[in-house]
Amino acid sequence: MRQGCDTSFVLRKGAWTAEEDTLLKKCIEKFGEGKWHLVPHRAGLSRCRKSCRLRWLNYLRPNIKRGDFDEDEVDLMLRLHKLLGNRWSLIAGRIPGRTANDVKNYWNTHLRSRVKQQKDQLKAGEPSQQTMGTIVKPQPRTISKNLNLYRDIIAHDNTNFIRPSDDGNGTNNTPSIAPVLVSPPTMFNDKINEKQVDNEVEWSFGGLLEEGVEAEDGQNSLFDFPIDNFMWDLLDSSHL
DNA sequence: AAAACCTCCAACCGCCAAGCG
DNA sequence: TCGCTTGGCGGTTGGAGGTTT
């Protein structure tokens, strides 16, 4: 079985040149993403499929946000990591414009030591700010599919985020926070039980606890996650 | 000025799961 | 059911650039 890159002929490794980037970009623009095994041949590149895919996903793809993470992004990353552990692709899927590699690198270089320090403090009996978040109790929620808030959900890879919708009169129908997470139905997309009744759709949470998935800090709680507060506030403020 | 050390991030590696014949 | 291919993921590494001595 061939698992890694095919080494039966000479493949280029290391840093990508501008010329290679151009070739890859043109290829993806022409044929679309996917079928990565065909990409090196189509693009005329001496790179393996994985290398092409990674280069596209981490660097060439449109809408990739570069530069420092801002405070909100870091905060969100910390919360998501607390919940999901090292599932970088899931975390990145919740931070628009950031790739899993970006998130992983940022975590490893900036946050890992910080979090470790906080844990040590916690063990020593000093409550850190990070652990003072409000525990959100699980509540079944019913959200109308007619809700304007969901009207403009756009797909961004695995990320669903919304942008302000326009009613045609130039009026913004959504709260003035955009792009914004609409994570309740999507964040744990395989863990959410969705029940549709007429135009209402009811989500209930459940999978994580039963399946024994633990937050990295060992707290087996899906709801120790203040971002939900924010999301529910957002939904409540949209005149349900 | 230059050597040593450190930081950061792009890229690679190996593994796993899904899909398919 | 089995074996192979492919896509995708997280962990790790190499090296460029920056900082310190």
Give the count of domains, chain A.
3
Q: Per residue in A211-240, pLDDT tens?
A: 333 444 444 333 333 344 433 333 333 333
pTM passes above 0.75 = no
> Looking at the structure, do residues A97 and A144 belong to the same domain, yes or no?
no
> Looking at the structure, do residues A139 and A95 belong to the same domain, yes or no?
no
Residue A113 belongs to what domain range? 71-129
Q: Per residue in A67-122, pLDDT tens?
A: 888 888 998 998 898 888 889 999 998 898 899 999 999 998 888 777 777 776 77
- Residue A13 domain-assigned (yes or no): no
Helices A227-236 and A71-84 meet at what angle, rounded to 10? 110
A108 CB contact with strand B at below 7 Å: yes
- Residue A170 domain-assigned (yes or no): yes
- Residue A8 domain-assigned (yes or no): no
Q: Which nucleotides of B are covered by protein (CB under 7 A)?
A: 7-16
A13 CB contact with strand B at below 7 Å: yes
Query: Within a 10 A sphere around the Cβ of A218, how many other Cβ atoms?
Result: 8
Q: Angle A183-A64-A37 (CA atoms, 0-180°, nearest 5)?
A: 95
